[in-house]
Amino acid sequence: MATVVDVTVHSEQWRPMTFPAHPEDRVNKIKEHVRSKTRVPVQDQVLQLGSKTLKPQRTLSSYGIDKEATIHLTLKVVKPSDEELPLVLVEPGDEGQRHELQVRRSSSVTQVKEMIKMKTAISPKKQIVNCNGKKLEDGKIMGDYGIKKGHLLFLTYPCIGG
């Protein structure tokens, strides 16, 4: 029968989170659990056991975590930089006209839609913008979508009728 250990993640921002895990699980699996509870992207997490930073590809057992242990990890949120990122907006149609946008990770989707309006004269209410396969939603910021320099934003329009 597989051994189960309780992994408890402590951080300053959240209450302690406890997850069942197996000693052969990778640290990355714990990071995925943390992401599901906190929405902190895996790449922005640093998990530590004591003063040792845990590497994502190593197993819990490689750190000596066995069936007897409930481990306490420290979660540090590493803030991504907020420099301007050049993105490319692609309009629909055969031409697929392209526009450069300078966006920050902290920019709201509403702000980006206003930038798009300045370039295309299309009202934000009529814009459907996608990045990395996800529809950008008002009330969120660009950092929520993991944007990086050079990513493409695709503009589409609502379909009326069928």
Instruction: Please tell me the predicted confidence (pLDDT) of residue 1.
Output: 55
Global pTM? 0.52
Query: What span, in angstroms and rounded, lies between the C-alpha atoms of 142 and 47?
Result: 25
Whether residue 129 is found in the same domain as residue 97: yes
Whether residue 66 is found in the same domain as residue 29: yes
Whether residue 57 is found in the same domain as residue 96: no
The amino acid occupying position 19 is F
**Structural domain boundaries, residue 143:** 85-156
Instruction: Please tell me the predicted confidence (pLDDT) of residue 75.
Output: 66
Query: What span, in angstroms and rounded, lies between the C-alpha atoms of 88 and 152?
Result: 5
Query: What span, in angstroms and rounded, lies between the C-alpha atoms of 102 and 70?
Result: 46
Count up the domains in the chain and report the number.
Answer: 2
The answer to the question of residue 162 being in a domain is no
DSSP symbol at 79: P
Residue 2 scores a pLDDT above 80: no
Last residue of a domain, one of 22, 45, 77: 77
Dump pLDDT digits (tens) for 110-142. 999 999 999 999 999 999 999 988 999 998 889
CA distances from 36 to 3, 32, 51, 146, 157 (A): 23, 6, 25, 15, 31
Model confidence at 162, pLDDT cuts 50, 70, 90, reads: low
Question: Which residues, other chains included, contact 45 with Cβ-Cβ below 8 Å and sequence gap of 6+?
Answer: 31, 34, 35, 75, 76, 77, 78
